[in-house]
Amino acid sequence: MEGIPESDWKTFKRLRKAALQRFSQRILDECRKICSSEQATPHERYLQLTEGLDRRREEMSRMFDDLRRSTAVPCLTAMDAAELLEESELAELSDETRRRIKLARGLGH
């Protein structure tokens, strides 16, 4: 798998930090909603919480754990699919890297 240009690598590392904070906040918001629900018993909420955290941990790992230039495009693609990146942030990447992200998402031609 190809890496990305040095300028995109620097941008990726900055975007990755922002996306990680957004994703973490999303998870915390989901946990807060589950915990405050009066529609489920405490045990049901506990099960929902642990199942949700397990699922999100897998997603987080896929997007953020493998920090290498050769895995930047798949990570960016997953972040983009999870709506963790702003259009203006994606626009900071080179045309070639944006094209590869679109292709990976099945949107490019």
pLDDT in tens, 41-56: 999 999 999 999 999 9
The pair phi, psi for residue 69, each rounded to 5°, is: -60, -35
| C-alpha to C-alpha distance for 54 and 30, rounded to whole angstroms | 13
Q: Is 85 helix (H, G, I), strand (E, B) or coil?
A: coil
**Helical segments of 37-71, H only:** 42-64
Per-residue confidence at 107, pLDDT binned at 50, 70, 90?
Answer: low
- Predicted confidence (pLDDT) at residue 109 exceeds the cutoff of 70: no
- CA neighbor of 15 nearest in space, from 92, 102, 101: 92
> What pTM did the predictor assign?
0.88
If you average pLDDT over residues 97-105, what whole number do you get?
92
Cβ atoms 5, 74 nearer than 8 A: no
